[in-house]
């Protein structure tokens, strides 16, 4: 059961990246299709997060979900929007990833 919860959480995190990036393309929700896709990804992400919480601790699941979203969004921001590739910024992203791994390893699930 815990494997399904972690898989749901992973997909929820990826969907969070999708809706975060999608917000950029909605132009304040003034563009229909990007807005519809972004809202659908939001709903799916929250739903899968809630399903993962049936088996995982809230603190761990929420931290992992936001970590996946933060790291994924920052990486896509670098590639899609030319955001900073500063070494310290990359090191900070690696610290978030190490925190996500640590939470997974020590969650007891």
Residue ranges per structural domain of the chain: 2-105
What is the C-alpha to C-alpha distance for residues 83 and 89, in angstroms, rounded to an integer? 10
E-strand ranges in the chain read none
What is the C-alpha to C-alpha distance for residues 42 and 13, in angstroms, rounded to an integer? 10
What is the C-alpha to C-alpha distance for residues 70 and 57, in angstroms, rounded to an integer? 20
Q: How confident is the model at residue 1 (pLDDT cuts 50, 70, 90)?
A: low
With 70 as the cut, is the pLDDT of residue 17 above it? yes
- Containing 17, the helix (H) or strand (E) segment is helix 2-26
Q: Where are the alpha helices (DSSP H) in 1-109?
A: 2-26, 32-52, 58-81, 87-105
pLDDT of 107 reads: 77
> pLDDT tens, 30-86?
999 999 999 999 999 999 999 999 999 999 999 999 999 999 999 999 999 999 999
Question: pTM (2 decimals)?
Answer: 0.90
């Amino acid at each position: 059961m815990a494997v399904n919860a972690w898989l749901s959480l992973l997909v929820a995190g990826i969907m969070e990246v999708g809706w975060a990036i999608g917000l950029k393309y909605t132009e304040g929700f003034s563009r229909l299709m990007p807005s519809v896709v972004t809202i659908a990804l939001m709903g799916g992400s929250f739903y899968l997060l809630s399903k993962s919480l049936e088996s995982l601790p809230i603190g761990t699941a929420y931290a992992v979900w936001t970590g996946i979203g933060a790291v994924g969004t920052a990486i896509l921001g670098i590639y899609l929007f030319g955001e900073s590739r500063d070494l310290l910024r990359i090191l900070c992203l690696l610290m978030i990833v190490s925190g996500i791994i640590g939470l997974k390893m020590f969650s007891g699930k």
